[in-house]
Amino acid sequence: MNARAWAAARNLAAALRGGHTERTTTRRRWFGAARACPSWCASDHRCTAQHGYSGGEHRSEPLVWRTDYGTLMASRVETLSRAGHVELRLSVRLDSDDQVAALQARMLTAGVDLAASAILAAAKETGRPALRAAG
């Protein structure tokens, strides 16, 4: 270990023991005022908007579907500028053969794209959601 690395290691050890007194931050808050969450927001660690972070987002609790082929999770997300979107996560068991698994991954990606395009196109053409909420 060279002298510079050894000095850095000693400084780190001193800082960890509480001997570090040099102030390296201004302690200023870089984020804004806290925000109220919409009713659908989880309002917990998933929501960064409630703390006023500039890039904060409201996030719902994920909806989780467990199926024979894997798990699908969906979360509603809204930025501070009120732009909303849905975040989908699909976890699927693929075939053990690499070529088959690669084909399955490509086909799943294309299938999800086709389904999303069809649902969004229907809503755009009719001016109303393609699917109506139950109840």
Average pLDDT (14-20) is 65
Q: How far is CA 73 from CA 4, 61, 76, in A?
A: 49, 10, 10
Q: How many domains does the chain have?
A: 2
pLDDT by residue (tens digit) across 54-110?
Answer: 788 999 999 999 999 999 999 999 988 888 999 999 999 999 999 999 999 999 999
| 134 and 88 in a common domain | no
Rounded to whole angstroms, how far apart are CA atoms 61 and 118? Answer: 26
Residue 80 within any structural domain of the chain: yes
Rounded to whole angstroms, how far apart are CA atoms 2 and 10? Answer: 12
Q: Which domain holds residue 70?
A: 31-92
Rounded to whole angstroms, how far apart are CA atoms 54 and 57? Answer: 9
Evaluate if residue 52 carries a pLDDT over 90. Answer: no
pLDDT by residue (tens digit) across 107-131?
Answer: 999 999 999 998 888 877 777 765 6
Residue 26 within any structural domain of the chain: no
| 40 and 82 in a common domain | yes
**CA torsion angle for 120, 125, 126, 131 (degrees, to 10)?**
-20
What is the model's pLDDT at position 131?
60
What is the model's pLDDT at position 94?
96
Residue 8 within any structural domain of the chain: no
